[in-house]
Amino acid sequence: MAQLRIALAQVNPTVGDLDGNADLIVEWAARAAAAGAHLAAFPEMMLTGYPVEDLALRGSFVEASRLALERLAARLAGEGLGDLPVVTGHLNRPPVGLVRAGQPSGLPLNAAAWLHRGEVLVRSAKHHLPNYGVFDEYRVFVRGDRLPVVRVHGVDVATAICEDLWQDGGPVSVAGEAGAGLLLVLNASPYERDKDDVRLDLCAARAREAGCALAYVNMVGGQDELVFDGDSIIVGADGSLLARAPQFVEHLLVADLALPAAGPAEPGRTPVDAHDGTTITVDRVELSARPVPAYPVAPQTVAGPLDDLAEIYAALVLGTRDYVRKNGFRSVILGLSGGIDSALVATIASDALGPENVHAVLLPSRYSSEGSVTDAEELVKRQGINARIVPIAGMVDAFEDELDLHGLAAENLQARIRANVWMGLSNEHGHLVLTGGNKSELATGYSTLYGDSAGGFAPIKDVFKSTVWDLARWRDTQAGVDLPFLHPFAQEPIPQAIIGKEPSAELRPGQRDIDSLPDYAVLDPLLADYVERDLGRDALVAAGHDPALADRVIRLVDLAEYKRRQYPPGPKITPKNFGRDRRLPITTRWREGG
């Protein structure tokens, strides 16, 4: 066996920020070197950020990315880091390629490169391209067909990228046949509830399949609707967990591994059947044949995963913080109604940005209960956020002087006047508007277009109302707890009166959600089965949902599609949300159950 100290840099790049991302690589490679690592690895598409979507089709962006990689290699050497092999994801194109109709313009590659002594030592690209859910990689990448196997201090290290691990055959299979001692996998794997369990099982299974240890380095941070949770993992050849990074924070996972010494294979290229209908060329390169002298092993980090509510809450905080920050904002504004949704959003914002950067507007109307204002004021006081009151009665009167609106039209008028106020204050003061809508509302269309649904970012867009309450209660239990994604409030940040009250839009006298929607305890599981699990009408009934209710909810969800097209983005946390991974036609007469 040969010893090897590897460092997995679980870091937070920004899409398109080539210089900033290169700075991150240099900074974290230096940390890895300082920690005595023999190899440092960064996530998939680290240099460009992920996902770049259609930017991959713009030739000037691909060229800039290629140039950035060359410059990075030289810079690492220039800063004394040339002897440390650095493996990073980037955007590349093949030197020559056969262009076929329907292939992405410029043949972009989701690539990995080994950098060493100022040079790009070896290049490869993702073989299995995901094209489902939030992924559209057939659209923007062509497939790679090479597996680098690099001998580092006498250990053969193979590299693969993300989806290569999730599909059968391809790089995992070939790594096994090539006799690799370590399979290094670069990832940009977005967070989904419960995905941490799946991911560990997958790493273990693939390690056993390839017959070698597996190191999985993942990105962390928010990018539009996606949140990358980190959770980098190292498992042994038998699938046993050796090291694991904490979720939702940047982290350098350093681990000392005992790995099999490389066999007699010589440098060079060999085509191998990839057992997926394709051939992959093994590209063997030797950096250093001799194992490092024996050294004492350092203790490994094995972070425990967060519990379910903590994990969701952390994703919302990180997604909100990064959207605000990466778009160049420092502060946010939101309407604070005294209800649970805006209360939770204000708290997430305080945790993400600090209470001093949160601006609340209280917008009472003739239908607002007294409790609404006092509860909101209590929250403002507990969290120390900025707040002002803007009564809307005069504005409503001015519209009603010219227009004769009734029922829903009159209710929507108030919601749109409120949006006009917070958009005006946003334009005047440069705060990003946070929107309070939750997934139950968004699913059923229980909101006003250009009213309460208006804003720049919607932190709880992918959270059902039942979970909104759970998160609020959970957050209150964390007052005084020291977690990296929580502001240290001394007191429960959300008043119990807000958590306990019956939900109401307060747009007409005595209005209650329950007048328009089923009880959330019944509605939310039905929505989860219809929206997230894609069950049809009959399958919903077979799963135990009331047939009449299923028909009603299916109709609400289908008819609200047009509203969701105009909804601001928010962090994705479930298997399917209303963003890019649920792209249904607006115009459709298809109805479940006829």
**Residue of the chain from 79, 194, 308, 538 that contacts a copy of itself (CB under 8 A):** 538
- Shortest gap between Cβ of 530 and a copy of itself (angstroms)? 10
Binding mask 436-465 for a copy of itself (x = CB under 8 A): -------------xx---x-x---------
Q: List CB contacts of 144: < 8 A, sequence separation 6 or more.
A: 109, 110, 111, 124, 125, 126, 127, 161
**Residue of the chain from 3, 10, 14, 173 that contacts a copy of itself (CB under 8 A):** 14
Is residue 36 part of an annotated ligand binding site?
A: no
**Residue of the chain from 270, 369, 420, 511 that contacts a copy of itself (CB under 8 A):** 420
Instruction: Name the residue nearer to a copy of itself (CB basis): 210 or 454.
Output: 454
Instruction: Name the residue nearer to a copy of itself (CB basis): 123 or 128.
Output: 128
Report the run of H or E that residue 2 belongs to, with start and end: strand 2-10
Angle at CA of residue 247, ends 347 and 191, nearest 5°: 80
- Shortest gap between Cβ of 261 and a copy of itself (angstroms)? 33
Instruction: Name the residue nearer to a copy of itself (CB basis): 489 or 530.
Output: 530
23 near a copy of itself, rule: CB under 8 A: no
516 near a copy of itself, rule: CB under 8 A: no
514 near a copy of itself, rule: CB under 8 A: no
Contact range with a copy of itself by CB under 8 A, out of 78-86, 150-158, 290-298, 401-409: 401-409
Catalytic residue among 63, 119, 137, 162: 162
- Please state, in angstroms and rounded to a whole number, the distance separating the CA atoms of residues 552 and 548: 6
Structure tokens at 97: 């390629």
CA nearest neighbour of 47 among 30, 61, 31: 61
Phi first, then psi: what are they for 234, rounded to 5°? -125, 125
Instruction: Name the residue nearer to a copy of itself (CB basis): 264 or 585.
Output: 585
587 near a copy of itself, rule: CB under 8 A: yes
98 near a copy of itself, rule: CB under 8 A: no
- Please state, in angstroms and rounded to a whole number, the distance separating the CA atoms of residues 226 and 248: 12
- Please state, in angstroms and rounded to a whole number, the distance separating the CA atoms of residues 521 and 156: 54
Contacts of a copy of itself in 345-384 (CB under 8 A): none
Burial class (CB in 10 A: 0-12, 13-18, 19+), 401: exposed
Catalytic residue among 44, 225, 378, 506: 44
**Which whole-number Å values give the CA distances from 491 to 283, 352, 359, 382, 494, in the listed order?**
59, 17, 20, 7, 9
How many amino acids of this chain bind a copy of itself (CB under 8 A)? 97
**Residue of the chain from 94, 236, 305, 391 that contacts a copy of itself (CB under 8 A):** 391
- Shortest gap between Cβ of 372 and a copy of itself (angstroms)? 18
Contact range with a copy of itself by CB under 8 A, out of 99-107, 434-442, 462-470, 482-490: 99-107
**Which whole-number Å values give the CA distances from 593 to 161, 530, 551, in the listed order?**
42, 13, 8
CA nearest neighbour of 112 among 78, 135, 146, 139: 146
Phi first, then psi: what are they for 184, rounded to 5°? -100, 125
Instruction: Name the residue nearer to a copy of itself (CB basis): 317 or 343.
Output: 317
- Please state, in angstroms and rounded to a whole number, the distance separating the CA atoms of residues 537 and 349: 38
Contact range with a copy of itself by CB under 8 A, out of 119-127, 234-242, 398-406, 463-471: 398-406
Instruction: Name the residue nearer to a copy of itself (CB basis): 197 or 590.
Output: 590
- Please state, in angstroms and rounded to a whole number, the distance separating the CA atoms of residues 25 and 221: 15
Burial class (CB in 10 A: 0-12, 13-18, 19+), 405: middle
586 near a copy of itself, rule: CB under 8 A: yes
**Residue of the chain from 26, 57, 77, 309 that contacts a copy of itself (CB under 8 A):** 57
Instruction: Name the residue nearer to a copy of itself (CB basis): 122 or 363.
Output: 363
167 near a copy of itself, rule: CB under 8 A: yes
- Please state, in angstroms and rounded to a whole number, the distance separating the CA atoms of residues 230 and 578: 23
- Shortest gap between Cβ of 424 and a copy of itself (angstroms)? 5
Could you give the count of Cα atoms lying within 13 Å of 230 in the half-sphere of its Cβ? 27
Instruction: Name the residue nearer to a copy of itself (CB basis): 253 or 413.
Output: 413
- Please state, in angstroms and rounded to a whole number, the distance separating the CA atoms of residues 244 and 315: 18
- Please state, in angstroms and rounded to a whole number, the distance separating the CA atoms of residues 202 and 11: 22
**Whether 465 is catalytic:** no
474 near a copy of itself, rule: CB under 8 A: no
**Whether 439 is catalytic:** no
Contacts of a copy of itself in 172-231 (CB under 8 A): 223-224
**Packed helices 340-353 and 308-326: angle between N→C axes, nearest 10 degrees:** 70
266 near a copy of itself, rule: CB under 8 A: no
**Residue of the chain from 6, 47, 419, 556 that contacts a copy of itself (CB under 8 A):** 419
**Residue of the chain from 78, 80, 131, 512 that contacts a copy of itself (CB under 8 A):** 131
**Whether 212 is catalytic:** no
Angle at CA of residue 484, ends 324 and 361, nearest 5°: 40
Catalytic residues: 44, 126, 162
**Residues flagged as binding site for ATP:** 335-342
**Residues flagged as binding site for deamido-NAD(+):** 412, 441, 563
